[in-house]
Amino acid sequence: MAEQESMSYDDVVTGRRSIRGYKPDPVPREVMEEIVGLAVRAPSSYNSQPWHLHIASGEVLDRIRWDSTERTLSGVRPSFERQETGSAYEGEHRRRQIEVAVQLFESMGIVRDDKEGRDNWTMRGFRIFDAPVLVVVTYDRQLHGGDIAPFDCGALATSLVNAAWSRGVGSVINSQGVMHSPVVREHLNIPEDQVILISIAMGYPDDSFPANAVVSRRRSVPEVANFIGFD
């Protein structure tokens, strides 16, 4: 990979967006090690660092894609290990979910009644977006049930995607990659004392893939933050 000038923090956080179409080029192990080395500077509760990363490429990743796709097509119900909320998003959360989905579908030219287009889009997620790298984030099972270990892993995941972007590597945090957690556990030989939480697809962005240009919206500072005692 060519030496690239280091990006400012602002350029990383404002420029990063989820990447769902990748060049086939592999990401060298040294680049992944550098990204992970930066990412693990993330804060965690009492510096407990409850996380583990299982990073797959090549044939093993292809086997995960294949098995997840096959299970999905044959109607096997998704099985997460993490605790789900148990209910679908409603209200403003649902509205934001739909908003970004509309942005993505519009960019790809997938219209409302294009069932095949939508199905293909969904299956792309189960193929880990055809990315050359899959990162599976797990945490120590002895911490299962509390909010803090998943919180810490979220901090690590954000740190990872930003570190990757700063090195020219795109990514998308995604649930689809671990929706068939038994497949991931088996192929990556994940020990039973770890809980599979989330996955992140990574690779060099394919700039010709339309959805990669989508910039998702954010609530404004006054909508998000309640300032008290400043004036």
Ligand X SMILES: Cc1cc2nc3c(=O)[nH]c(=O)nc-3n(C[C@H](O)[C@H](O)[C@H](O)COP(=O)(O)O)c2cc1C
Nearer to ligand X among residue 20 and residue 54 (C-beta): 20
CB of 60 to ligand X, least distance (A): 21
- On the CB side of 198, how many CA atoms lie within 13 Å of its CA? 18
Nearer to ligand X among residue 8 and residue 216 (C-beta): 216
Q: Give, in degrees to the nearest 5, the angle at Cα 177 between 172 and 179.
A: 135
State which of positions 190-209 bind ligand X (CB under 6 A): 198
Give the max Cα distance, the chain. Answer: 60
Q: Is 18 in the site for ligand X (CB under 6 A)?
A: yes
Q: Which of 57, 68, 159, 176 binds ligand X (CB under 6 A)?
A: 176
Nearer to ligand X among residue 168 and residue 228 (C-beta): 168
Q: Which of 175, 188, 206, 210 binds ligand X (CB under 6 A)?
A: 175
State which of positions 116-145 bind ligand X (CB under 6 A): 125
Nearer to ligand X among residue 44 and residue 176 (C-beta): 176
Nearer to ligand X among residue 60 and residue 100 (C-beta): 100
Q: Which of 57, 138, 166, 174 binds ligand X (CB under 6 A)?
A: 174
Q: Which amino acid is at 202?
A: M
CB of 104 to ligand X, least distance (A): 7
183: closest CA among 86, 32, 53, 76?
Answer: 76
CB of 61 to ligand X, least distance (A): 17
State which of positions 56-115 bind ligand X (CB under 6 A): 100
Q: Which of 12, 76, 155, 173 binds ligand X (CB under 6 A)?
A: 173
Please report, as ranges, the residues that interact with ligand X according to CB under 6 A: 17-18, 20, 100, 125, 172-176, 198, 216
